[in-house]
Amino acid sequence: MTGSNDNSTGGVPVPVTPAGATSGAPAEYPPASPAGRGMFGVQGSGDVSGYGGLVRPRKPIEESPRPYGGYFDEVRDALEEAYPEFGDAIEKVVVDRGELTLHVRPERIAEVCQVMRDDLALRFELCSSVSGVDYLGAEERRLHVVYQLTSMTYRRRVRLEAAVSADDPHLPSVTSVYPTADWQERETYDMFGIVFDGHPNLTRILMPDDWEGHPQRKDYPLGGVPVEYKGAEIPPPDRRRSYQ
Amino acid sequence: MTTSNYATERETAEGKVFTVTGGDWDQVVSGTDPINDERIVVNMGPQHPSTHGVLRLILELEGETVREVRSVVGYLHTGIEKNLEYRNWVQGSTFVTRMDYLSPLFNETAYALAVEKLLGITDDITERATTIRVLMMELNRISSHLVWLATTGMELGAISIMLYGFREREYILDIFETITGLRMNHAYVRPGGVAQDVPDDAIVKIRKFLKMMPKKLKEYEDLLSGQPIWTERTKNVAVLDVTACVALGVTGPVLRSAGLAWDLRKTMPYCGYETYEFDVPTHTDGDVWGRYLVRLAEIRESLKLVEQAVDRLAKPGPVMVSDKKIAWPAQLAIGVDGMGNSLEHVAKIMGQSMESLIHHFKLVTEGFRVPPGQVYVGIESPRGELGVHAVSDGGTRPYRVHYREPSFVNLQALPAMAEGGLIADVIAGGASLDPVMGGCDR
């Protein structure tokens, strides 16, 4: 577990240049531990205790073996039957904590959603949620778009996940299949900078139109200023010593 | 400088002189169609008294008819989801409770359920803790629907109902204060259970409330249901059928008012809702009137649930999981300034047990670790499906938490409801969605 990320500085973490926002964000450094690095999250203080160098490895997500149990096998079989390109489009099937996740190749996401909605054995009529997760440092295609589909007919839930890289954050919009994805894709674009091709009006929704950067990305600083409390100066949350 | 048709210029000794003239009025008028081209753009909000919170609507009007609606949200964006990533898992409940400020206990419960699912301790949550959660959520549902009734009444010109709705809601907030120490933003439901047990005087207050509320509901109905102005303003207004609701992701009372009895408490039960007796009220018209009836009926159903939950609380028991690595050691007590550590516990960790002090310190500063993975939990909030997508990377802080906010998703339906109708019905339709902007923008 113990080890240093950067041998050139003798294991002592050095400040990283700010990333993400160029305006409106007062924090100087990105979050202490975007990739599970550093037990105390302290940076640039010359802390040589060694805690700052701890790296927690992140295990890659593994494909689950069959049978999955529950309705998961039925869903997979139905999708395989209804969608001939299943092998090409689905990268991984993961069952964890009683939830089924289909990892879909990003360019296929709209097709898969169409089949998931229209096939009589699947019938995922409702797209409950679309959002993003940034796995910075864990993988090349770090930006994941997560779709939570609900079948009201069969009372089932399935999660679709599509991963894109930050250099080419493009994937088709699912608004033509699920109109409710409209605002949720806009929010995901706003927060993660993921571009949904074919979206009717992909603009920022929560942040101001002229905002720079995408706040939910892990290399975007939290921001904040130090405050005085009973004579002591308390640093902003992302600059405090804390466990990771 | 470019020359303009409206201002010819000539050089004089004093400098350039412009002569401003109008165009030929006949020419201007002939290009327009006075009947069909008279569209004006009206900006409603972001601080319009008739909108819920800081919502801005840009309306394109033709006379009084609305041709296009665009809603602009984001004025209350506070970055709660981002902030969660810099606090430990337990601290998260103090943040999420501030999202949808009319239903804080739903935000907390959904968050707690997600963290518990990540920890794999869903089955270890004690029966009493679950019962208290149900009790608090149903009381909260009543208070939220009362605010809906109050604000919608006010927006449609019924000022008395506004006063009555807020008056009865205050009674529920008083019960909350007795139990959690705060009227709003409770941070009462924590991963692993609830912060502390329900005190006896709260049970007395709830019993009194259960006796009083049916009479009040009757009063509201006497005041509104038969009243011609109320029915005129609500019947056949802002209609949305089941197909439109599902396509636009609209859930909750709006979907049920269109006729689909989709209530996660029944269809995908959580917190033991399958063991309670209650009905899911529906209506078939899918208009504002239907939503009004559905919400009033839901208050009655919630009263039933509250009564059953209170009866179950007669049996004592723990309100936190027994795992001391997750349950906070502090036996919290209500002081004059809200909820805090009990003096007894402070005396123990400071005077008697070094181990207890270390344990307390570790749990409070470091927090517990959550195994890596992701979960999605959906519960039925007063506004529809409230979903929490929580991701852990194995650390003591959430890696990512996303709230699927029903206010945010439901607001998309406003153009579908309002376009083609009258401008006054935009208010009725928007109000019937019951959006809470604190939740919508997070």
The string of DSSP codes covering B16-68 is EEEEE----HHHHHHTS-TTTS-EEEEEE-SS-TTSSSS-EEEEEEETTEEEE
Q: How far apart are the first and last CA of chain B?
A: 49
CB contact under 8 A, A205 and B73: yes
User: A36 to chain B, minimum CA–CA distance in Å?
Assistant: 8
Are the C-beta atoms of A168 and B39 separated by less than 8 Å? no
CA atoms of B388 and B366, how far apart (whole Å): 23
pLDDT at A221: 82
Instruction: Assign residue B193 a region (left: φ > 0; alpha: ψ between -120 and 50; beta: otherwise).
Output: left
Mutate to test the interface with A, among B113, B118, B122, B246 (most CBs of A within 10 A): B246
Structure tokens at B83: 């902030």
Report which secondary-structure segment, H or E, holds B256.
helix B253-257
* pLDDT for residue A43 is more than 90: no
Give the Cβ contact number of residue A140 at 10 Å: 9
Helix axes B159-180, B127-155, angle to 10 degrees: 160
CB-CB neighbors (< 8 A) of B118 in chain A: 97
Instruction: Return the percentage of chain A with pLDDT > 70, whole number.
Output: 75
CB-CB neighbors (< 8 A) of A180 in chain B: 247-250, 409, 412
Sorting pLDDT into bands at 50, 70 and 90, what band is A13?
A: low
Residue of B47 and A201 predicted with greater confidence = A201
- Supply φ then ψ for residue A189, to 5 degrees: -65, -45
Sorting pLDDT into bands at 50, 70 and 90, what band is A37?
A: very low
Give the Cβ contact number of residue A197 at 10 Å: 11
Give Cα separations from B19 to B3, B6, B11, B13, B16 (angstroms). 11, 8, 11, 16, 10
Sorting pLDDT into bands at 50, 70 and 90, what band is A52?
A: low
CA atoms of B99 and B427, how far apart (whole Å): 23
Residue whose C-alpha is closest to residue A238's, from A214, A226, A222, A220: A222
Mutate to test the interface with A, among B72, B121, B374 (most CBs of A within 10 A): B374
User: B284 to chain A, minimum CA–CA distance in Å?
Assistant: 18
Are the C-beta atoms of B223 and B161 separated by less than 8 Å? yes
pLDDT at B107: 93
Most confident of A35-39, A148-152, B343-347, B361-365: A148-152
Give the one of A97, A132, A243 whose C-beta lies nearest to B396's C-beta. A243
Are the C-beta atoms of A72 and A41 separated by less than 8 Å? no
| Pairing assessment for the beta strands B56-62 and A126-134 based on DSSP bridges | unpaired
pTM: 0.84
User: A237 to chain B, minimum CA–CA distance in Å?
Assistant: 6
Strand residue runs (E) in chain A: 90-96, 99-104, 126-134, 143-151, 156-164, 170-172, 195-197, 227-229, 232-234
Residue whose C-alpha is closest to residue B202's, from B190, B194, B214: B194
Structure tokens at B355: 């181990």
Stretches in chain B below the pLDDT threshold 50: 1-2
Residue spans of alpha helices (H) in chain A: 72-82, 86-89, 109-118, 181-192
Count of helix runs (H) and strand runs (E) in chain B: 18, 12
Instruction: Tell me the three state secondary structure of residue B192.
Output: coil
Looking at residue B181, its amino acid is G
Write the ipTM: 0.81
Sorting pLDDT into bands at 50, 70 and 90, what band is A68?
A: confident
- Second CATH level (architecture) for the domain B71-326+368-441: Orthogonal Bundle (1.10)
| Pairing assessment for the beta strands A170-172 and A195-197 based on DSSP bridges | parallel
Structure tokens at B125: 């949550």
pLDDT at B321: 87
Stated length of chain B = 442
State the average pLDDT over residues A60-66: 81
Tokens 């296929």 correspond to: A108
CB contact under 8 A, A182 and B83: no
Report which secondary-structure segment, H or E, holds A39.
none
The contacts of residue A139 (CB under 8 Å, 6+ apart) are A60, A163
Instruction: Tell me the three state secondary structure of residue B420.
Output: coil
Domain boundaries, chain B: 71-326+368-441
CB contact under 8 A, A216 and B82: yes
**Cis-peptide into B46, omega within 30 deg:** yes
Q: Among A80-89, A184-193, B50-59, B352-361, which is the least confidently predicted range?
A: B50-59
Residue whose C-alpha is closest to residue A217's, from A203, A207, A232: A207
Tokens 């810099």 correspond to: B86
Residue whose C-alpha is closest to residue B251's, from B277, B220, B280, B225: B280
Closest chain B residue to the Cα of A41, Cα to Cα = B86
Are the C-beta atoms of B166 and B146 separated by less than 8 Å? yes
Q: Among A185-194, A232-241, B52-61, B425-434, which is the least confidently predicted range?
A: A232-241
Residue of A7 and B48 predicted with greater confidence = B48
Instruction: Tell me the three state secondary structure of residue B387.
Output: strand
Residue whose C-alpha is closest to residue A43's, from A12, A7, A1, A3: A12
Residue spans of alpha helices (H) in A63-207: 72-82, 86-89, 109-118, 181-192
CA atoms of B260 and B269, how far apart (whole Å): 17
Question: What is the Cα B115 distance to its own chain's centre?
Answer: 20
Domain boundaries, chain A: 1-57+239-244, 72-197
The contacts of residue B37 (CB under 8 Å, 6+ apart) are none
Tell me the pLDDT of chain A averaged across its residues: 79
Query: What is the 8-class DSSP label of residue B329?
Result: S
CB-CB neighbors (< 8 A) of B401 in chain A: none
User: A58 to chain B, minimum CA–CA distance in Å?
Assistant: 7
CA atoms of B188 and B97, how far apart (whole Å): 9
* pLDDT for residue A83 is more than 50: yes
Closest chain A residue to the Cα of B373, Cα to Cα = A96
The contacts of residue A201 (CB under 8 Å, 6+ apart) are A182, A186
CB contact under 8 A, B389 and A237: no
Using alpha carbons only, give the angle B429, B433, B436 rounded to the nearest 5 degrees. 125
Tokens 């996660």 correspond to: B264
pLDDT at A244: 54
CB-CB neighbors (< 8 A) of B73 in chain A: 205-206
Instruction: Return the percentage of chain B with pLDDT > 70, whole number.
Output: 91
Structure tokens at A240: 């405090």
Q: Based on the number of CB atoms within 10 Å of its own CB, is B22 exposed (0-12), middle (13-18) or buried (19 or more)? A: exposed
The contacts of residue B289 (CB under 8 Å, 6+ apart) are B231, B234, B235, B236, B237, B283
| Helix, strand, coil shares, percent, chain B, to 5 | 50, 15, 35
| CATH code at A72-197 | 3.30.460.80
